[in-house]
Amino acid sequence: MITHLISFELTLAILIGFSVLWVCWGWYLGRKAKSQDDFALAGRNVGFALATATAMATWVTSNTTLVAPQLTYQFGVWGMLGYSMAALGLLLFAPLAQRIKTILPHGVTSGDFIYMRFGRFAWSVFLIISLCYALGWLVSLGMAGGILLSTLSPISYHTGMTVIITVCVLYTLLGGLRAVIATDFVQTLIIICGVCYIAYSALGQISLEQVHANVEQQQPQLLNLLFPAALMFFFNNVIFGIGEIFHSNVWWSRALAFKKGVGKKSFILAAMLWFPIPIVTGFIALSSNSLGIFPASPDMIGPLVAGELLGGAGAVLIFIIIFSALASSMDSLLAATSDLLSNDIYKKLLMKNASTQQILTVNKLMIVLLGLFTWLMSLPQITTLGALLNFTGAFVASTIWPILYGLYGNKLSNKGAGLAMMLGTIVGLIFYFQVGFYTAALASCFVSFVICQYFIRLRAIHFQWLQLKE
């Protein structure tokens, strides 16, 4: 077991350096944001380069750097490819982004669309699903921060997750979506350069021939294309990734923030550039056998292998990569979820006549409260990252069909959309607990599809699109 590869002083220096950088930059970018459009949607005029980078960075999370190696370690080649297929979510969201910008030019959140297109019942179910997912993801990011620090340095799990959550809350609070997008650009460059460097260094020390030969000898099922659990995981992850992106306000707020005509092409390019990253991070885990690394918890496999291959320098590099990956996703999630809480819960439910300034104030308050909630929930490290992540699959996969039929069709009713999401989630959860985590999203998506079909074919309505312009 390799621990404390980075000294306490060096860890502290890296943490303070990056924290000050992100927070000061966030403050600088956010100092002119006076309206909610400026704060929550970066002025609705984000260009192609920043749009592509932010789409990539948000999708390169701690999960890509920690869970992709974990899944490769557990499921072999299918784990690696299955995680990569999450790029399909970005690719399929590209046309949706264009459609969202067209039909909802003044919208702020995904909740706005569901409320106007389907009404209160479906909107309530959608909000519950969306918040469960967002909070689950936030907690997984907080946990990942703690795991990272405690694995690589003498800093404890609790201190690690406290630092990462505090830094992200601070710069999101100061700079809003503009700060999130700008930091995402730099974080993307850091992550990709770092991951490539580790991979090239690894290949310099241990050849793919050796890795293949060792895995073939010791764990041949990891190379088996007909490994049943891995195959199930592959398809489950595709559906999960699509569900995550289609419903989450993280992506809707980006679609609304990008300049007109930019959304579609930036999501397509982001998907193409994102696709190989989990393969690069995942393959490192395949070499763990050859190196004799058997981690106590599988989600530590990535940092441990990098540390073993590259020593102290590798540990520092992977620390910076994962710190950047964590920040790039946590800031996006904090911003998007606080928009959802202030715009959907506060404005629609509690204070219908709230002024823009009041909504902005509540938005900032929500960022702080979300940070506090994440911190509290991450305190007891209750599960592994992979398990927590896949738990939310049961929720999000149920939203795919209602959103598609809602955006492109006019026959699905409020009741149909609400029931599809509700029953899909329930069945998904049953499968999660009774069959396996890798079946939750598949079951949820299937049930939701059947219910949508029933309502479209037998209980169709004729929605008037003009209602969305109101």
Partner 1 sequence: MFVSELFLSTIVYTALCVSSVTPLVLLFLFFKDVMKKSLW
Binding site for partner 1 (CB under 8 A): 42-43, 45-50, 52-53, 56, 76-77, 80-81, 84, 178, 185, 188-189, 192-193, 195-196, 199-200, 203, 208-209, 211-213, 216, 220, 223-226, 259, 269, 272-273, 275-277, 279-280, 283
Shorter beta-carbon distance to partner 1: residue 210 or 297: 210
CB of 42 to partner 1, least distance (A): 7
113 or 234, CB closer to partner 1?
234
Neighbouring C-alpha atoms within 13 Å toward the C-beta of 141: 33
Shortest spacing between CB 202 and partner 1, in angstroms: 10
Residue 114 or residue 306: which is nearer to partner 1 going by CB?
Answer: 306
8 Å CB contact between 166 and 371: yes
Q: Which pair of structure tokens corresponds to residue 229?
A: 């659990």
Q: Which amino acid belongs to residue 215? A: V
- Calculate ∠ Cα 293-295-301, nearest 5°: 80
Q: Which CB, 27 or 275, lies closer to partner 1?
A: 275
Nearer to partner 1, 105 or 220 (CB): 220
**Cβ-Cβ contacts under 8 Å for 34 (sequence gap 6 or more):** none
- Shortest distance, position 208 Cβ to partner 1, whole Å: 5
Q: How far is the CB of 301 from partner 1 (least distance, A)?
A: 17
Q: How far is the CB of 285 from partner 1 (least distance, A)?
A: 12
Q: How far is the CB of 223 from partner 1 (least distance, A)?
A: 4
Q: What is the DSSP string of 341-352?
A: IIIIIIIIII-T
Q: How many whole angstroms separate alpha carbon 184 and alpha carbon 333?
A: 12
Residue 451 Cβ vs partner 1, minimum distance, rounded to whole Å:
36
Which residue, 25 or 185, has its beta carbon nearer to partner 1? 185
Q: Quote the least distance from Cβ 221 to partner 1, whole Å.
A: 9
Q: Beta partners for 46?
A: 258
Positive or negative, the CA dihedral 48, 54, 59, 63 is: positive
Minimum distance of partner 1 from residue 8's CB (angstroms)? 31
Query: Quick one: how far is CA 468 from the chain centroid?
Result: 28
Specify the residue, 74 or 425, whose C-beta has the smaller distance to partner 1. Answer: 74
Under a CB-based contact definition with an 8 Å cutoff, are residues 99 and 407 in contact?
yes
> Which residue, 256 or 417, has its beta carbon nearer to partner 1?
256
The residue (of 190 and 362) whose beta carbon lies closer to partner 1 is 190
In angstroms, give the least distance from the CB of 59 to partner 1: 13
Determine the angle formed by the axes of helices 157-205 and 8-30, rounding to 10 degrees: 100
> Crossing angle, helix 110-118 and helix 414-434, to 10 degrees?
120
One-letter identity of residue 426: I
Exposure b/e, 246-267, CB count within 10 A at least 16 = b: bbbbbbbbbbbbbbeebbbbbb
Q: Helix 228-247 crosses helix 68-75 at what angle (to 10 degrees)?
A: 160
Our CB check for partner 1 shows the closer of 283 and 432 to be 283
Are 302 and 65 in contact, with CB atoms under 8 Å apart? yes
46 three-state secondary structure:
strand
Q: How far apart are CA 121 and CA 209, in angstroms?
A: 56
* 259 within 8 A of 46, measured Cβ to Cβ: yes
